[in-house]
Structures are given as C-alpha cells and as structure tokens.
C-alpha cells in the first residue's frame, strides 16, 4: 500500500476552476442577502422544501422509489413522534399508506432523513471529524432496515464496488472497484479523516475540500451498504462546516441531491473519470478536478432553486383557508390521484368551494391535473 504524507489538495485548482469558484461564491453571497430579508418562518419553509427534495433525490439515486410528496408525508408521520424509534412505532401505518413495493424505500428514506437532521443540527460540532462520528451516522442511516444481515456502523467485511443501476431495466454497471475490506479500507479512512481535519481549516476553497473528501470516501466505499447516501450527506456536512458563513448559511436551503439526481448518468461517468475505474491508496493519482467541476454545475443549479422555493412560500401564505384544507387532503394521500368527489368526501367542503380551491392550487402549481371531463383527477406536486 502506498502511503502519502498529510497535505492539502491532491489536485490542482487552475485559473478556470478558480474563476468558477469565485463566481459561485458571489452567487452564495447574493442568495444569503436574499434569504436574510425573509422572516424566520419563511426561511424554515424553504428549508423544508429543500430538505425533503434532498432526502427524496438521494434515495432515488440509489433506486428507491418514493416521490418527494411521499417523502413529505412520511416526514410528517415521523416528525409527530420525534423519537429515534419513530419508524418502528409507525411501520404498520406507513405500510398501510404506501404500496407494498415501497417498504424498502421507506426504510431508506427514514434513515436518510435522520442522518440529514443530525447533520443540519450538529455539523459544526462534528469538527474535528472522527471515524466514530462517520460510523455513528452510518448506523443511523441503516437503523430502520428490516434486513438483519447488514453491518450497521462498522466497516465492510466483503468486497464491494460503486454500482450504477438502471431502475427501469434492472441493468447494473460497475463504475469502479473500491478499496479492499480490512486493512486497506481502514488505513484509507484513517488517512482521509486526518487529511480532512487539516484541509477544512487551511484550504480557502471549502467546496474543493468537500469534493475531494467525498470522492475519496466513495472510492474507499468503507461500508457494505449506504455509501452513496452517506457520502452525499457528508458533502452537505462539509459545506455547513465552512468558515465562509454565507456558504454555510445558504447550504441549509439547498436541494443539492435533486440536481445530482437530474444528472445521475453524468454523476457516475465523472466518478469513473476521476478514478480510472479503480481505488488508489495514492490520492494524487485521482483527477478530482472533474468531480469539482461537476459539483460547481450542480450547486449553480441548486442555488437557482432558492428563487422557486421563495416564490412557493409566498404563494402558500396567500392561499385561502379552503385551498389549504384541500392541499392538506392531498398531503395525506400523496400516492393517490384524487377526483373532486374524493376531496369533497374527505373535506366536507361544498362542490363550488372545492372547484375554486383546485383552480387556485393549479394556478400556484401546488397540484397537477390529469385527464379530461369526468376522468379528471389531480395529484400533489412538491
């Protein structure tokens, strides 16, 4: 095994990358000022939109199948309990609400939700980062899994690889071979955490540090399962730990994984380009600048979403009480396309009131219409 001295970045940040990073920082400053003008309640609503989108996207990248609306419903169930054992306590209720084929997906969503909650609340306290913190987050990620064969919170004991799976066809493709279990993975993780704790404090470009940290984590793939979801959560953690307060503040309101999901195929191509298809104990052999370039594009798109979330928050505040009641009906049945008759029965609102509420929700893009005439039905958008 090749060991290298502790140092900063394993790749060069050239003039073009520096230019893009400077531009990105300027956008973070603009969004931070924009968010500062909003009320605390409005900012929390924007965070909720971003958070739910992040949980949904991160799990779907790994081929879970819950929509953002279903994730939002599941979050409301678990949030009403507030305990770490909430998923187990409400497992039957969740199974009754969602299709049987979504049970595994709901387990993954519950775990990803818990990890992100911890990171949003405690990111700063995770410095200096430790392997035990990463293992603890992994254990929370898999807490709700019903399969006992998975190793939770400890490094892998069998070889694994970064796999891209086509959800529609079931076809699997190896992106690159990861570190061997045992000594190679353990030493690589020890070196990575030590490097991160120095780099996050010394390197001026937090995003560059975050990208190298997460790419090397994915290349090691230290756990038997859950590496992709945990790696993307660690990226958010790194940005929240930034000394640049504007960057850290705005990250709280970004749905980064939503845009990784949109560019999922490119995401795996870039991981392969960085690694040449295999793990290396010498991080200088990687081309992590490809991953940084990709993530700059992802963050640029994610920052643009904040305007959409602000617009949606303002629209919600203007909804009449009847429209909010109808929207709550949709929130309780995220998997179902509802007809006006279903809504009238669920809300006890008059026909005309339901019709007006539906038109308001369509205009403000909270729901979507399908079909025509008597076959018309509606489903919530998130």
Whole-angstrom Cα distance, residue 227 to residue 181? Answer: 14
The reported pLDDT for the residue numbered 6 is 39
pLDDT band at 292 (very low <50, low <70, confident <90, very high): very high
Nearest alpha carbon to residue 283 among 227, 218, 229, 198: 218
Domain limits, CATH 1.10.3290.10, in the chain: 15-315
Residues counted in the chain: 382
- Looking at the chain, the domain(s) classified CATH 1.10.10.10 span 319-380
Percent of the chain with pLDDT over 90: 79
Span 63-105, pLDDT tens digits: 899 999 999 999 988 987 766 668 888 888 888 778 777 888 9
**Is the pLDDT assigned to residue 4 strictly greater than 60?**
no
Assign domain 319-380 to a CATH class: mainly alpha
pLDDT tens digits for 358-377? Answer: 999 999 999 999 999 889 99
Residue 2, pLDDT above cutoff 60 = no
At 323 the pLDDT is 97
What value does the mean pLDDT of the chain take?
92
Domain range 15-315, its CATH number among 3.90.1170.40, 1.10.3290.10, 1.10.599.10, 3.30.70.1560: 1.10.3290.10
Q: What is the pLDDT of residue 168?
A: 67
Express each pLDDT in 163-205 by its tens digit.
887 766 767 888 889 999 999 999 999 999 999 999 999 999 9
What does the block give as tokens for 342? Answer: 């279903």
Encode pLDDT of 137-167 as tens digits. Answer: 999 999 988 876 678 999 999 999 888 877 6
pLDDT tens for each residue of 225-254: 999 999 999 999 999 999 999 999 999 999
Q: Is the model's pLDDT at 1 over the cut of 80? A: no
CA distances 328 to 72, 117, 332, 347, 357, Å, are: 12, 24, 6, 9, 12
DSSP labels, 262-285: HTHHHHHHHHHHHHTTB--S-GGG
- pLDDT tens per residue across span 29-69: 999 999 999 999 999 999 999 999 999 999 999 989 999 99
Q: What is the largest CA-CA distance in the chain?
A: 73
């Amino acid at each position: 095994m090749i060991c290298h001295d502790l140092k900063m970045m394993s790749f060069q940040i050239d003039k073009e990358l520096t230019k893009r990073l400077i531009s990105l920082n300027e956008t973070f400053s603009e969004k931070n000022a924009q968010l500062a003008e909003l009320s605390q309640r409005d900012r929390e609503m924007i965070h909720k939109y971003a958070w739910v989108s992040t949980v949904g996207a991160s799990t779907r990248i790994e081929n879970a199948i819950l929509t953002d609306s279903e994730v939002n419903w599941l979050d409301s169930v678990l949030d009403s309990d507030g305990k770490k054992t909430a998923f187990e306590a409400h497992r039957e209720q969740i199974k009754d609400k969602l299709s049987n084929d979504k049970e595994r997906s709901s387990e993954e969503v519950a775990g990803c939700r818990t990890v992100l909650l911890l990171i949003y609340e405690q990111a700063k306290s995770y410095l200096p980062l430790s392997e035990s913190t990463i293992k603890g987050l992994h254990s929370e990620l898999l807490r709700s899994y019903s399969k006992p064969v998975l190793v939770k919170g400890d490094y892998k004991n069998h070889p694994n690889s970064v796999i891209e799976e086509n959800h529609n066809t079931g076809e699997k493709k190896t992106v690159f071979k990861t570190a061997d279990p045992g000594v190679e993975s353990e030493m690589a993780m020890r070196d990575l955490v030590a490097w991160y704790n120095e780099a996050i404090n010394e390197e001026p470009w937090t995003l560059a540090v975050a990208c190298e940290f997460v790419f090397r984590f994915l290349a090691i793939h230290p756990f038997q399962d859950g590496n992709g979801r945990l790696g993307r959560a660690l990226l958010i953690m790194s940005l929240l730990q930034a000394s640049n307060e504007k960057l850290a503040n705005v990250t709280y309101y970004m749905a980064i994984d939503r845009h990784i999901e949109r560019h999922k195929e490119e995401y795996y191509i870039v991981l392969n380009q960085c690694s040449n298809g295999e793990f290396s104990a010498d991080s200088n052999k990687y081309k992590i600048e490809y991953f940084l370039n990709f993530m700059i594009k992802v963050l640029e798109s994610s920052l643009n979403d904040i305007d959409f979330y602000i617009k949606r928050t303002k629209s919600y505040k203007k909804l009449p009480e009847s429209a909010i009641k109808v929207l709550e009906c949709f929130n309780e049945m995220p998997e179902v396309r509802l007809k006006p008759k279903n809504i009238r029965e669920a809300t006890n609102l008059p026909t005309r009131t339901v019709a007006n509420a539906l038109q308001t929700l369509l205009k403000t893009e909270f729901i979507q219409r399908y079909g025509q005439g008597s076959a018309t039905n509606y489903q919530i958008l998130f």
